[in-house]
Structure 1
Amino acid sequence: MTGWNGLNTAYFTEDKDDPIYTALVKAIVERKLLPGSKLPEEALADVFAVSRTGIRRVLQRLAAVQLVTHLPKRGAHVATPDADESRDVMATRKILECTNMSEVIAQCRPSHIEALSKILEQEKQAHDNHDGTAAIRLSAAFHVQLQAISGNKVLTETVSQLTLRSSLVIAAWGAPWQQGCRCHDHDDLLDVLKRGDSAALSCRMSEHFDAILASLRFDPHQGTPTAFEEIFKSTPRVSL
């Protein structure tokens, strides 16, 4: 199963509320719904033209993958990872992705290089067009597809889920102009992959995550009111 960004999202449960679930994941990861944004059941039910029970079920699914939190007497909000959690998310990705590089190298074929090159070309175009939404999506896709080369489906699914949480981290603590990873970093990773040097690839990936963490600014940002009608105006209506 593939999700809004083409990533492996097999850890999601298929259900009749998938269109709304996917729309909310997309809005969160693309920073249309920022960390801390309130997710009132009634407003969302009106926007999607479904029952509050259906919305509540979707919000519970989002909470299960740690994209939404339920606060006592305050309802559901987009999760806001604190500084410690943010560092832990990035550190976990660093451990998993760097450790898997030897297997990625061992299993890499020309078709894999071609697929990654296409993602990178699209990512560069998104940056050139100042298309932050596409840049974030393609940045995550590059990392997940790189790990998928190893054939380890469990690790790939874990990295895929962590990219969602990483997007929350960057939305919460990144600079306003930050659009996923630095494009030239992915260029460097692809060049090292082509050389087949697993030690160098692991080292370069480690430096890549260090750079991402160094770019984060752990101070609070001011939020803005959420216009659900505008965010979800193109989402198909479903019956829940």
Structure 2
Amino acid sequence: MLKDEQIYQKLLKAIVEHKLPPGERLPEDKLAEAFGISRTGIRKVIQRLALERFVIVEANKGAHVNRPSRQEAEEVLNSRILLEPQLIPDIVNNWTAKHAKHFYAMVDEENHADEQGWLSQSIQLTAQFHYELAAISNNSILAEFVEQLCYRSSLVLAAYGSRKSVSCDSGDHAELLALLDARETAQAQQWMEHHLIKVKQSISLDGNDCAQIDFQRLFSEM
């Protein structure tokens, strides 16, 4: 039987990758059946996701994947614009050749996903790039905050983004890595701010209707 943490990670991954799109209902009975646990067990996981704003729980209506409002989307992205450039000096100070190798490999993955038109995977990869980069600052509090903002940005992009939101139209991450390699702190900060502003400008608030989800099939494939 899967543990609560494993179920949480599977549900979070499905939301971030848009396999459970914004607005999708999350019926306890079907999810409990899909994971082979009690409704009480699945309710605990849903409540955790609700605390993190990935899920909304309404009395007498049940739970559904959060569909961020314009204000929430703007607040999340504005927070990233303010915060992430400020971590760049510490990232530069801690930057190593090992870091460069790892992140260039991530950029290759991003480019491949973009070439294949895999939007959900592109969203996940770009979030991972940013929160792993923040972790190099060695400020665990801010890095954890950035990670949560990146997850919430993934929800925003899943709801309202497009290929422009995660493609070179918003700036190739390899450009940032070159600046980090060269220890160009000020230029790297400017790049990061411009990049996040472009991501914000790329979102459109036209959401899509949800298709019927087969929870049993979805989570048996993950």
Q: Normalising to structure 2: TM-score of the pair?
A: 0.92
Query: Which AA in structure 1 matches 2:37?
Result: V
Is 191-200 or 133-142 further displaced after alignment? 133-142
1:174 — aligned with what?
Answer: 161
CA distance in 2, matches of 1:110, 1:179: 30
2:82 — aligned with what?
Answer: 95
Q: Count residues with an aligned counterpart.
A: 219
Query: Which AA in structure 1 matches 2:166?
Result: C
1:214 — aligned with what?
Answer: 201
Closer, same or farther in 2 for the Cα pair 1:180/1:231, shift >3 Å?
farther
Identity %: 37
Q: CA RMSD of the aligned region, Å?
A: 1.7
SS in 2 for 1:162: helix
Alignment of 1:1-240 (within 5 A): 16-175=3-162, 178=163, 181-183=166-168, 184-235=171-222
Conserved? CA contact 1:105–1:198, under 8 Å: yes
CA distance in 2, matches of 1:216, 1:131: 17
Conserved? CA contact 1:29–1:167, under 8 Å: yes
CA distance in 1, matches of 2:121, 2:152: 17
Query: Which AA in structure 2 matches 1:181?
Result: V
Deviation at 1:223, TM superposition (A): 2.1
CA distance in 2, matches of 1:194, 1:68: 39
SS in 1 for 2:166: coil
Q: Which runs of 5+ in 1 are unaligned?
A: 1-14, 236-240
Deviation at 1:52, TM superposition (A): 0.4
Deviation at 1:16, TM superposition (A): 2.9
Deviation at 1:234, TM superposition (A): 3.0
Alpha-carbon displacement from aligned partner over 1:156-193 (angstroms, at most 9, x marks no partner): 11111111111110111113xx3862245212111211
Moved over 4 A (4+): none
1:12 — aligned with what?
Answer: none
Conserved? CA contact 2:46–2:55, under 8 Å: yes
Deviation at 1:101, TM superposition (A): 0.9
